[in-house]
Amino acid sequence: MLKKWLPNWLNGLIVGCVLFSNVILFGSLVLMLGLIKLLLPLSIVNSILHSAYRGWCNGNRLGLWLGCPNIVVDISGDLNSKCWYLLICNHASWLDITVLSSLHELPAPKFFLKDELKYVPFIGTGAWAMGMPFMKRVSKAQLAKNPKLKGLDVERTKHSCRNFRHHPTTIINFVEGTRYTPAKHSLQQSPFKHLLKPKAGGIAFALEVLADQFDAMLNTSLVYSGKTDHVCRNLLKGELDSIYVSIEVIPIDEKMQGSYQSDDVFKANFQHYVNELWVTKDQQLADIYAQQDLPEPKISKEIETL
């Protein structure tokens, strides 16, 4: 491993170049194949497109292998690369997407992304070509001005999820909706120590559309250890010491299925269910820090400018 033989700054530079080149190469290739698929919607084109996407995942695995000496993946339950999964996860860093996409145990990972990311070259355009759902938040003020905006995210999510029926897929949802920072934690007055408040809608939409297709839900937790709390900066400076990934396979049962948009009773029950998952996850993260003898991230007591 390069980290053993090279100074930290040089190792970080090499890792950064590998990951950046990987995004440029496969992001361009996936976009090109996505445009071809629009003109020639043939199964062979779609298969090549998914192979190119897998190339990006493998490149991420290489970059992480070069940059981090200790990556632990703890899986509770059985996973099959030919199955369909819904993966929920805490959102600790921009590196989360790279880590989750690099896990060869998972079938092709697809992400719920913020609508603004569709305009980001290579990343957003590649995600568009793969048919990933972009979530566009509508404020109460916007909804009051234009009631037709209500439910657009639901329909967009349903359309994207239907496209996943043809290839084994792991649909990944960062339930907090944004990356954890002490400032956001303080601003939300989150009741959790290591997490922001969960948003249940994206999970419910995916389950409503693909409940019969999903083989299980994967309750996943990510923990990083490095010189500072800035995970990506640690990686690019050769100072990321470990990545710990915990995956719990949870069967999908009746309490997870219903109409989140139209059934108020189901909505309340499902929000309670997700909140209970988050209570358990918060304790799990504390246990991981303790078991791995890792320093816990600092909790800010002040509301900072985001």
For 70-291, give the CATH class.
Answer: alpha beta
Q: What's the average model confidence in pLDDT over 161-176?
A: 84
For 148-158, what is the mean pLDDT?
65
Say which residue, 306 or 152, is predicted with more confidence: 152
Residue scoring higher pLDDT (303 or 139): 139
Would the pTM of this model clear 0.95, i.e. be above it?
no
Residue 276 has what pLDDT? 95
Q: What is the pLDDT of residue 302?
A: 41
* pLDDT tier at 6, thresholds 50, 70, 90: confident
- Following DSSP, what letter does each residue of 36-86 receive, concatenated? HHHH---HHHHHHHHHHHHHHHHHHHHHHHHH-S-EEEEEES---TTS-EE
Band of the pLDDT at 14, cuts 50, 70, 90?
Answer: very high
> With 0-12 CB in 10 A as exposed, 13-18 as middle and 19+ as buried, what is 115?
middle
For the ranges 143-152, 250-259, 272-281, the lowest mean pLDDT is seen at 143-152
The pLDDT, as a whole number, for residue 160 is 67
**163 or 26, greater pLDDT:** 26
Residue 202 and residue 260 in contact, taking contact as beta carbons nearer than 8 Å: no
Q: Which residue would you say has higher pLDDT here, 270 or 229?
A: 270
- Percentage of residues of the chain with pLDDT beyond 90: 46
Question: Quick check: 26 and 101 in contact, CB under 8 A?
Answer: no
The pLDDT of residue 150: 64
Instruction: Give domain limits for the chain.
Output: 70-291
In the structure, what pLDDT confidence band is assigned to residue 304 with cuts at 50, 70 and 90? very low
Whole-number pLDDT of residue 305: 37
How much is the pLDDT for 212? 79
Q: Give the separation between CA 258 and CA 158, rounded to whole angstroms.
A: 14
- Mean confidence (pLDDT) of the chain: 86
Structure tokens at 205: 């939409």
State pLDDT tens for residues 52-102.
999 999 999 999 999 998 899 999 989 998 899 999 999 999 999 999 999
Residue 1's pLDDT is 55
Confidence class for position 137, pLDDT limits 50, 70, 90:
low
pLDDT of residue 210: 77
Query: pLDDT: is 148 or 169 the higher one?
Result: 169
Say whether pLDDT at 250 is over 90.
yes
Distance separating alpha carbons of residues 47 and 281, to the nearest angstrom: 36
Q: Residue 297: count other Cβ atoms within 10 Å of its Cβ.
A: 20
Q: Is residue 274 over pLDDT 90?
A: yes
Give the number of residues written for the chain: 306
